[in-house]
Amino acid sequence: MTAPVLPGWEHVYSGKVRDLYRPAAPHPDGDVVLVVASDRISAYDHVLPTPIPGKGEVLTRLSLWWFEQLADIVPSHVVSLDVPDAVVGRAMVCRRLEMFPVECVARGYLTGSGLVEYREGQAVCGVPLPPGLGEASRLPEPIFTPASKAEIGDHDENITFEAVAERLGRERAAGLRDLTLRIYARAAEVAARSGIIVADTKLEFGLGPGGDVVLGDEVLTPDSSRFWPADGYAPGRVQPSFDKQFVRDWLTSPESGWDRVSPPPALPDDVVQRTRERYLEAADRLVG
Ligand code: ATP
Ligand code: MG
């Protein structure tokens, strides 16, 4: 599943899910990149060999909608949807940003790597928390739990606010933390109207040409966030979620026979279909 050849654009980079292009000739909108969301799916830091049809479109539709919901808080990198025919619906022309080398994560609930850390030291990324919390507990208030951006194949690592301040300066770090928490608060409020809990979310910011902080990448998709159905929310157990749960469950089942080290196996059809439906359901519930 290589990046498509697109007229007028030169491929420059492929992450696990997105392909980035730069204009082959000066672009009327200036310093831009084309961000194309593929149907690739990753789990446990591996890109799987089987795509989820329509996933790139869902991610793009959701991101565009969220950028609008957040527009009064932070500018987004989106410039236009004037993209090559082959990628219509799953590509955006964006301002090219100098991305900060930090994933800005906000958590309102405890699960995943947050819960693991909490159990080790009653804190997440240096933020102390009260005793007695467990799987899917709602936190007293949302917290900023940044992670370092890993190279492809590596695991993103939780870091403290102090570590972000060391890298980017204290003022910048505080700015990103405040922005992340404001965006999370808005997202939680908006998603609640659709009966969805945003347990946590990962944001990526960059500097625009004028030195302004801009929200980049994708936002508040099932890939970057944990969405839980609000009805049936019950702390103390793992929540069902609108994401890769089927994929993760299957990959870790004996049926897949996967050791988490060698290249992952192809997904069976029913796992692909059910995952596709989960992504679509999340988008339909939110965007309507
Ligand atoms: P990594 O982020 O480490 O490359 P990834 O697998 O998460 O891994 P993808 O999300 O698939 O990568 O690729 C998107 C890449 O494009 C990310 O590196 C992201 O930081 C970068 N990116 C997103 N928006 C912009 C932008 N406006 N300008 C420059 N880079 C961007
Ligand atoms: Mg990414």
- Read out DSSP for the chain? -PPPP-TTEEEEEE-SSEEEEEESS--TTSSEEEEEE-S--EETTEE-SS--TTHHHHHHHHHHHHHHHTTTTS-BSEEE----GGGTTSEEEEE--EE-SEEEEEEEE--HHHHHHHHHHSEETTEE--TT--TTPEEEEEEE--EEPPPTTSPPEE--HHHHHHHH-HHHHHHHHHHHHHHHHHHHHHHHTTTEEEEEEEE-EEE-TTS-EEE-S--S-TTTEEEEESTT--TTSPPP-SSTHHHHHHHHSTTT---SSSPPPPPPHHHHHHHHHHHHHHHHHHH-
pLDDT at 168 over 70: yes
pLDDT digits (tens, 9 = 90+) for 17-66: 999 999 999 999 999 999 999 999 999 889 999 999 999 999 999 999 99
Q: What is the CATH number of the domain that holds 136?
A: 3.30.470.20
The pLDDT value recorded for residue 257 is 94
Listed residues 41, 65, 95: the one ending a domain: 95
The pLDDT value recorded for residue 42 is 93
| Interstrand relation of 98-99 and 42-43 (parallel, antiparallel or unpaired) | unpaired
Q: Which atom of ligand 1 is nearest to the CA of 94?
A: 27
Of 283, 217, 279, give the one whose Cα is nearest residue 35. 217
Looking at the DSSP assignment, which residues form a beta bridge with residue 198?
A: 227
Q: Would you say residue 104 lies in a domain?
A: yes
pLDDT at 157 over 70: yes
The ipTM of this complex is 0.95
The pLDDT value recorded for residue 190 is 98
Percentage of the chain lying above the pLDDT 70 cut: 98
Q: Would you say residue 76 lies in a domain?
A: yes
Same domain, 68 and 184: no
The pLDDT value recorded for residue 111 is 96
Listed residues 77, 95, 113: the one ending a domain: 95
Q: Which atom of ligand 1 is nearest to the CA of 96?
A: 28
Same domain, 127 and 237: yes
The pLDDT value recorded for residue 172 is 98
Phi-psi region for residue 25, left (φ > 0), alpha (ψ -120 to 50) or beta? beta
Of 192, 55, 228, 15, give the one whose Cα is nearest residue 63. 55
User: How many domains does one find in the chain?
Assistant: 2
pLDDT at 9 over 90: yes
pLDDT digits (tens, 9 = 90+) for 131-155: 999 999 999 999 999 999 876 556 7
Mean pLDDT, all residues of the chain: 95
Best of 35, 93, 152, 217 for a ligand 1 pocket test (most atoms within 8 Å of beta carbon): 217
Whole-number Å distance, alpha carbon 226 to ligand 1 midpoint, is 19
Lowest mean pLDDT among 4-13, 31-40, 96-105, 235-244: 235-244
Residue ranges making up the domain that contains 36:
9-95
Same domain, 143 and 125: yes
Q: Would you say residue 174 lies in a domain?
A: yes
Max CA distance (Å), the chain: 58
- Asked whether 3 and 9 are in contact (CB, 8 A), the reply is no
pLDDT at 15 over 80: yes
pLDDT at 178 over 90: yes
pLDDT digits (tens, 9 = 90+) for 219-268: 999 999 999 999 999 999 999 888 788 898 899 999 999 999 999 999 99
Q: What is the CATH number of the domain that holds 58?
A: 3.30.200.20
Pocket around ligand 1: residues whose beta carbon is below 6 Å from it?
Answer: 15-18, 20, 33, 35, 77, 94-97, 99, 149, 204, 206, 216-217
Whole-number Å distance, alpha carbon 134 to ligand 1 midpoint, is 32
Same domain, 107 and 200: yes
Q: Which atom of ligand 1 is nearest to the CA of 149?
A: 3
How far is it, in rounded angstroms, from Cα 47 to Cα 219? 20
How far is it, in rounded angstroms, from Cα 142 to Cα 144? 7
Ligand at shortest distance from the CA of 13: 1
Percentage of the chain lying above the pLDDT 90 cut: 91
Whole-number Å distance, alpha carbon 217 to ligand 2 midpoint, is 7
Average of per-residue pLDDT across 83-102? 98
Whole-number Å distance, alpha carbon 149 to ligand 2 midpoint, is 9
Model confidence at 1, in pLDDT bands (50, 70, 90)? low
Whole-number Å distance, alpha carbon 204 to ligand 1 midpoint, is 8
The pLDDT value recorded for residue 45 is 85
How far is it, in rounded angstroms, from Cα 175 to Cα 285? 31
Of 279, 275, 277, give the one whose Cα is nearest residue 48. 275
> 272 vs 245, which has greater pLDDT?
272
Whole-number Å distance, alpha carbon 194 to ligand 1 midpoint, is 28
